Amino acid sequence: EADIYQTPRYLVIGTGKKITLECSQTMGHDKMYWYQQDPGMELHLIHYSYGVNSTEKGDLSSESTVSRIRTEHFPLTLESARPSHTSQYLCASSEPPAYEQYFGPGTRLTVT
């Protein structure tokens, strides 16, 4: 089934660890996005990609980095996790000419 997947769904990790949050979509969408969201709060765009080898920073400054080597895969990496990174991270994708974005289930990250 065409969908957008995120792993892990939940992650508890200690300060200073390097982590990678995975996002994959099977819809063939060119555009992909990462949002940061505290529970029930607004979504902040932290990274986006308009295609392979294209990545841009979003409106909210983030210490994370992303890569887009394959169309279907858009991982997010934190080199050194800190408690301030505790949040939910949502991945999304869209396909022009449509503007609709489809979201993954999210990764809830807790840094202790």
Cα separation, 63 vs 78, in Å, equals 7
**Residues 48 and 32 sit within 8 Å (Cβ to Cβ):** yes
By CB under 8 A, is residue 24 in contact with another protein? Answer: no
Cβ proximity to another protein, 56 vs 79, nearer residue: 56
Give me the half-sphere count of Cα atoms (radius 13 Å) on the Cβ side of residue 67.
Answer: 7
Q: Which of 1, 2, 40, 84 binds another protein (CB under 8 A)?
A: 40
Residue with tokens 């099977």: 26
By CB under 8 A, is residue 1 in contact with another protein? Answer: no
β-bridge mates for residue 50, sequence order: none
Q: Smallest gap, in angstroms, from Cβ of residue 92 to another protein?
A: 8
Interacting residue ranges for another protein, rule: CB under 8 A: 31, 33, 40-43, 45, 48, 50, 58-59, 90, 94, 96, 99-106
